[in-house]
Chains A and B, each alone.
Chain A
Amino acid sequence: MNRDLDDNLIRGCIEWDRNAQNMLYEKYASQMIAVCLPYSRNREEAEDTFHEGFMKVFQNISKFNGTGSLEGWIRRIMVNTAIDKYKKNSHLFIVSIDEYPSAMDRYYSTDFLSNDGAAELFEMIQKLPPVCRMVFNLFVFEGLKHREIAKKLDITEGTSKSNLSHARSILKRKIFENFEYLEKKAAPDGRKQ
């Protein structure tokens, strides 16, 4: 039934039916803005990416061939729009791994995350250096391999790996600094409890 609804929406959008376009927007807007947030430096940039991405969705909806879900297709467009935006303003930023203290002995529970915590974490991701942010998002949220990330961002696999490592280091440090309710969990065998 969901598929039928999507088919109707797609048909309407192909004919530039404003009602259908509005319905598609209402259905996927909040999910897609959340997709755009980690790829952007701030809320405004995320909304720009979101706006551009949706325009591309409406202009190219006739090219959706039904393979996979409509949500997945729209998500891919949003991510690609963010990558294009990044490439226009890209500059490599290598963070020296020595800058940030190792937090190897820290274990973090995901239980602390609430909506506020999630928003704060997203802000931390947004504040990452651009290339680190892009690599981290593509690896963690899109599940791409380093080879694929390197191809998308026109970097080498090695650069992709090092930037992912840097992104994680920075996030660990920031989480350590900002989340006061984190508990250090230490088990004799190092496993978290």
Chain B
Amino acid sequence: MEENSEIDRLARKASELLKTNVPDSSWKRLEAELDKQQAMRYKKQTGRFRLLSICLALLLISFMFYHFLVPTSVVINVGDISGKKITALQVDHYDIHSKHSAPDLNTSTVSNDQSVHASPPNDVTKKDIGRGKSMNTEIKNHQVQNVQRQYVSKQNVPRKNAMLTQSTVSMPDKNSASPKKAQNENANIIHESSVTLKSETPAIGIAETGSDNSILITEPGAEVSEGDGHGTALNQMQIDPGRNEKITDITSTVTVPADQDTSATAESKKGLMQKLFAEAFYSPEHSWIHLRDVSDDNKGIQEYYDREKFISAFTAGANVGYSLHQKIDVATGFHYSERKYSMTYPEIYVGKGFDGDLHYQYPTSWGIVEKPNTGNRVLHDGDTLQKTISCTQSIKIISIPLMIRYRLGGKKLQMYCSAGMSANFINHAIMNLRIGNIEGMIERNIDGLKPLYFGYMVSIGFKYHLIGGFSVFAEPVFRGSLNSVVENIDIKSYPHSAGLNAGINFQPGSCK
């Protein structure tokens, strides 16, 4: 046992004494693997963002389609289908009295919709006429509902009215009936008919008793047939007192030609157009960067602030939006930004880049710009170039924002505030150098600069309606970044900017 513990002690001692060298290739191998892992992590992150963007875009599109497909209110006037040829067979199915223009009917008036309203003669007692009931019937999608209507014929209908009545009762086998006979036949008859209304869309059908005891039925969304066509919703049907109506199943549809596009259809389109808007803007900006030191030796960030000066920045772009609500809009778009900074380096060091090679390095807030060693000079880690070098760095960014806007104010002048987030793709980075009389340019050779970072924006805007659907707007805006634009270097960098968006907004629905 003691011997066993002696072996164990020997092994432990050997472990303490052993000095092992780690081969240089070991870190390179590890680094290569870490690069792969990092690329996969980015892919996952951007993949998740891409998925989220696709879902949001699909949600927005389907929301807009839903609103497009669902008619708001559809009411077609009787007059719109007047003049259509109706075969005798189909006459039973429908009654159109819009063609009436009988000026000698002293008790009737022709309305704009070409319907005829006939008032009952004074000698007809109230109980005999207009015993229709008001009913509000809501016809839901795909619901079939039977509606009972009752009509009371007038007694002692004057000849003129009798003729009117007869002319509108479209039953071929009864057209030979003499007015008198019709009158007698129709006297004191309560006609009942059942109407089957079938609607594919949410609609409300209303039957009301008018002030002149006529019955007005409004059946938006119902289907009506005419000839061989299929059409849109049903119209308003004015059933005058004393009129004999025979209404059967009106589940077939009517074609309304495009040139007779009804006010109801126009109404629904107008509703969608009012909800869409597009705008273009330009925004001069002032940009600055917030830096955070993450180096192990606390090198400090003050040298970055001392070295770099802001020159200019702007953002330009276009947005499209949709009104979710009376006061709330969502919008997305495409923005292009450019930011320029100047830097002055009193000396330049040689360092090892991300590729493992030695380069002249220009540390900036947007990564370490590396000048490839194109000369014959052999570089050593830590070499210094003792020359004052002025540089101009230009960063070009493409942003895809998603914003929510809350509107206040009236029709002419509106105020709104908006907030949103954006995905910012760093498209291009250029550094122009001047060393003495020599100028050079380094393009796309920056270590540590991420291709994508996320940002946010908040703004308050004012919009003034000009003419038609056009408005102008001005919008002070603040843009910030949610994560650092650089990685794997000694600093974390968060660019911000403040600007004034000014542009033109177009809302098709506002056109007069």
Contacts and interface: CB of A to CB of B under 8 A. Distances in A.
Contacts of B12: 140-141
A16 interface: yes
A115 B14 CA distance: 8
A110 interface: yes
Contacts of B143: none
Contacts of B34: 16, 18, 21, 55, 58
A102 B10 CA distance: 18
A47 B23 contact: yes
B11 interface: yes
Interface in A15-38: 15-23, 25, 29-30, 33-34, 37-38
A184 B3 CA distance: 13
A175 B34 CA distance: 41
Nearest to A139: B8
B488 A107 contact: no
A22 B15 contact: no
A156 interface: no
Interface string B17-55: 111111100110111011001100100000000000000
B435 interface: no
B15 A30 contact: no
Contacts of A16: 34, 38, 41, 487-488
A125 B18 CA distance: 13
Interface centre among B17, B21, B354, B489 (most CB of A within 10 A): B17
Given A30-B21, A37-B20, A168 B7 contact: yes
Interface string A155-193: 000000000010010011001000000000000000000
Contacts of B11: 38, 121, 125, 136, 140-141, 171
Contact of B10 (A19, A21, A110, A114): A110
A97 interface: no
B437 interface: no
B7 A20 contact: no
A107 B3 contact: yes
Interface centre among A16, A106, A114, A175 (most CB of B within 10 A): A16
Given A17-B488, A168-B4, A33 B20 contact: yes
Contacts of B26: 29, 47, 50-51
B174 interface: no
B102 interface: no
Contacts of A19: 295-296, 488-490
A121 B18 CA distance: 10
B30 A23 contact: no
A8 interface: yes
A108 interface: yes
Contacts of B22: 29-30, 33, 50
Interface string A104-130: 101110100111011101100100000
A113 B17 contact: yes
Contacts of B489: 19
Contacts of A165: 4
A59 interface: yes
Contacts of B4: 165, 168
A103 interface: yes
A108 B10 contact: yes
B10 to A, nearest CB: 6
B18 A118 contact: yes
Interface centre among B14, B19, B38 (most CB of A within 10 A): B14
B437 to A, nearest CB: 36
Interface centre among B9, B11, B29 (most CB of A within 10 A): B11
Contacts of A29: 22, 26-27
B294 interface: yes
A113 B37 CA distance: 42
B15 to A, nearest CB: 6
B3 A59 contact: no
Nearest to A106: B3
Interface in B462-511: 487-490
Contacts of B6: 107-108, 110
Given A55-B33, A59-B37, A104-B3, A17 B294 contact: yes
B14 A113 contact: yes
Nearest to B7: A168
Contact of B30 (A20, A51, A106, A172): A51
Nearest to B38: A16
B14 A121 contact: yes
Nearest to A165: B4
Contacts of A114: 17
B412 interface: no
Given A19-B490, A55-B30, A141-B12, A172 B20 contact: no
Interface in A71-126: 103-104, 106-108, 110, 113-115, 117-119, 121-122, 125
A103 B3 contact: yes
A140 B10 CA distance: 10
A64 B33 CA distance: 21
Contacts of A15: 294, 487
A34 B15 contact: yes
Contacts of A118: 13-15, 17-18
B235 to A, nearest CB: 69
Contacts of A115: 17-19
Contacts of B38: 16
A59 B354 CA distance: 20
A117 B17 CA distance: 9
A104 B22 CA distance: 38
7 contacts: A51-B33, A55-B30, A103-B3, A108-B6, A110-B6, A121-B10, A168-B8
Nearest 10 interchain pairs by C-beta: A118-B14, A18-B488, A118-B17, A121-B14, A118-B18, A29-B22, A140-B8, A34-B20, A33-B20, A110-B13
Given A17-B294, A30-B21, A113-B10, 9 more contacts: A9-B296, A17-B488, A55-B37, A108-B7, A110-B6, A115-B19, A117-B17, A121-B11, A122-B15
Interface of A: 5, 8-9, 12, 15-23, 25, 29-30, 33-34, 37-38, 47, 50-51, 54-55, 58-59, 103-104, 106-108, 110, 113-115, 117-119, 121-122, 125, 136, 139-141, 165, 168, 171-172, 175
Interface of B: 3-4, 6-15, 17-23, 26-27, 29-31, 33-34, 37-38, 41, 294-296, 354, 487-490
